[in-house]
Amino acid sequence: MIEIKEKAQFEKAIAKAQAVKPKTHIIEAGRVYSVESSQGDEYQVTFFKLNGVPAFTCTCKAHTGSAAPKVCYHAVAAWSQHRVVKAVHKAAEASPEPFPIPVATCRFCKTPSTVDSTGLCNSCAESELFS
């Protein structure tokens, strides 16, 4: 069971998702979802395994501009969509999944990884583009 350390942040994201009720679309069932923000922007939430642990990343600023991304409401919305899909496939009750951990995304190459204070992963930060 994964514990989200900042529980308040997590609850905030749930509350916001319930208030905004963002539109979610399945891009790749079980993995990639797009979520419409309250401003009408589209963000992409990707669920994956990081060293065997369920994780997710999002294309919003909280994930592309932060080395320690938090749970955003896009992820909560995408996760509920994900759960609906799983319920349809009758797998939901058999294995209730913990909420995945948030992972930073490099703002340049969009790869989920640890990023520096400018939002770049190691390889992008070291590339000539940014030196």
> What is residue 56's three-state secondary structure?
strand
Q: Binding to Zn ion by residue 84, rule CB under 5 A?
A: no
Q: How far is the CB of 26 from Zn ion (least distance, A)?
A: 17
Stretch that binds Zn ion, among 10-18, 49-57, 83-91, 122-130 (CB under 5 A): 122-130
Nearer to Zn ion, 6 or 89 (CB): 6
Q: Binding to Zn ion by residue 103, rule CB under 5 A?
A: no
Return the amino acid letter for 114: T
Residue with tokens 């995945």: 100
- Tell me the β-bridge partners of 34: 25, 44
Q: How far is the CB of 94 from Zn ion (least distance, A)?
A: 28
Nearest to 74 by CA among 15, 17, 11, 5: 17
Structure tokens at 72: 């955003």
Compute the distance between CA of residue 109 and CA of residue 1 in angstroms, rounded to an integer: 30
Q: Binding to Zn ion by residue 106, rule CB under 5 A?
A: yes
- Candidates 11, 109, 127, 130; binder of Zn ion (CB under 5 A) is 109
Interface with Zn ion by CB under 5 A: which residues?
Answer: 43, 58, 60, 72, 74, 106, 108-109, 121, 124
